[in-house]
């Protein structure tokens, strides 16, 4: 009971600032996204600007989002089958004109491999369109956050995860709503485990999430991942 009260107090103190903005707002990926903000928005209330808003970018066909004046080259790329996923976004972010030669996007690209992975990890937090064939663990590699493969192979108990989830629901909505705090419903198990262990190891910089993840065992994290995977 004391722990829950302390957690609620902590969240209350920061809810109007850092936490309400995003649970990952201080990560490397979020900082890298600042390079994109002159043209793109992401998160709650994101709108099209010079470039399209990037919510649910994963699984989107290039050049097809309504309300954007795409280049003929981008529209053609979509018509020819270009769909945004980890691989295609990684290639595009590294060298936009290398993938779509006459794109209007003037960004020269991120050449550092780790920077691109961190940015894609951040973008994925705002996308519900990732599939089993397009998981973070496959793209980033099992040890991107130094997670042993044995941890990723733990089979979680969803019923136990439901029991543990009450503290998560202090901030995250069971309905899957995304009112300033990203939804965690429907996440792939591997993605959930990677993110939680990143907080546990303080590789993602949010104090409340670090505190919560730090108190969870590997089995408890697996159980939560199993529960939220099937929660719509």
Going by C-alpha positions, the residue among 173, 179, 185, 174 that lies closest to residue 228 is 185
**Residue 113, SS3?**
helix
Q: Are 49 and 39 in contact (CB under 8 A)?
A: yes
Task: Decide if pLDDT at 10 tops 50.
Answer: no
Q: What is the pLDDT of residue 41?
A: 94
Task: Decide if pLDDT at 176 tops 60.
Answer: no
Q: What's the CA gap between 146 and 206, in Å, rounded?
A: 18
Region 177-187 average pLDDT: 69
Task: Decide if pLDDT at 208 tops 90.
Answer: no
* Domains defined along the chain, listed by start: 1-24+131-232 (1.10.760.10)
What average pLDDT does the chain have?
78
113 versus 217: the higher-pLDDT residue is 217
Q: Looking at the whole model, is its pTM more than 0.75? A: no
């Amino acid at each position: 009971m004391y722990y829950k009260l302390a957690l609620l107090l902590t969240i209350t103190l920061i809810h109007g600032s850092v936490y309400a903005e995003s649970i990952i707002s201080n990560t490397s990926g979020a900082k890298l996204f600042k390079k994109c903000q002159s043209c793109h928005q992401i998160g709650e209330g994101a709108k099209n600007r010079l470039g399209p808003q990037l919510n649910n970018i994963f699984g989107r066909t290039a050049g097809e989002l309504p309300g954007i004046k795409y280049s003929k080259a981008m529209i053609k790329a979509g018509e020819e089958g270009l769909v945004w996923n980890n691989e295609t976004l990684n290639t595009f972010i590294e060298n936009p004109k290398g993938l779509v030669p006459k794109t209007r996007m003037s960004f020269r690209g991120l050449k550092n491999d780790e920077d691109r992975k961190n940015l894609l990890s951040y973008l994925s937090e705002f996308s519900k369109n990732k599939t089993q064939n397009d998981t973070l663990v496959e793209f980033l590699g099992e040890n991107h956050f130094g997670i042993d493969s044995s941890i990723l192979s733990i089979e979680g108990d969803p019923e136990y995860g439901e029991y543990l989830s009450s503290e998560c629901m202090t901030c995250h909505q069971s309905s899957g709503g995304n009112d300033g705090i990203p939804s965690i419903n429907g996440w792939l198990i591997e993605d959930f485990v990677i993110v939680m262990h990143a907080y546990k190891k303080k590789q993602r910089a949010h104090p409340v999430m670090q505190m919560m993840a730090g108190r969870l065992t590997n089995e408890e994290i697996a159980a939560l991942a199993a529960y939220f995977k099937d929660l719509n």
